[in-house]
Amino acid sequence: MVPEVARDKASFMVQAKSLSLAVSLNTTTSLFMAQTVLRVFAAVFTLAAICVMATSSQTTVLFGFTIRAHYSYSSAMRFLFVTDAIVCASSLLSLIFVYHLSHSGSNLKTCFYLFLHDMVITVLAISGCAAGTAVGYISRYGEEKMGWMAICNRVKSFCNHMTISMVLSYVAFLSYLALAVMSSNKVMYEANDEYQRNERQACP
């Protein structure tokens, strides 16, 4: 009777372990799929933002002077352009790292590096968006107390294109914000898993 109970218990433990391994594998696969999709989204949206920004230009006459509006004439817009380019390039490069990670297996060190990368890119993306938004708001609505007049009523097409570019940049930022949250959860999971392994090895 006792051997049968022990055998049933051992069989149950094996099945439970197999089920846990299958669930963990499915979760890991879903995580890497989500990571890949979000990085592709970030690359596509920033590339679209760059294309819209680089091709937007308009010429108008103001007080007898011919004025040409272009993103390169604003330091904030140039900064947004550069940050979008960095986010796009980093997204494509990180895809290679994620692909390698999905096939070679993840550990705490590599997950932490991925989390650090995502956090840096997230902060960089929102800084570029914030700079572009500040200049865009003044260009569209002006600032009477500072004596800055709105110019979007003169170059509506240019301002509309820049607004589309900034919206695309914000979508890329949201993608990286989601990636940073996912990476932080992965780091905590790997840290807990490593702690449990060390505890099991320490037990006699």
Per DSSP, the three-state class of 70 is strand
pTM above 0.95, yes or no: no
Mean pLDDT of the chain: 79
Confidence at residue 27, expressed as pLDDT on a 0 to 100 scale: 58
Domains (range + CATH), the chain: 29-191 (1.20.120)
- Report CA torsion sign: 193, 103, 42, 84: positive
- The CA distance from 61 to 154, in Å, is 8
pLDDT digits (tens, 9 = 90+) for 162-196: 999 999 999 999 999 999 998 888 777 666 665 56
Burial of 13 by CB count in 10 Å (0-12 exposed, 13-18 middle, 19+ buried)?
A: exposed
User: Quick one: which H or E segment has residue 55?
Assistant: helix 2-55
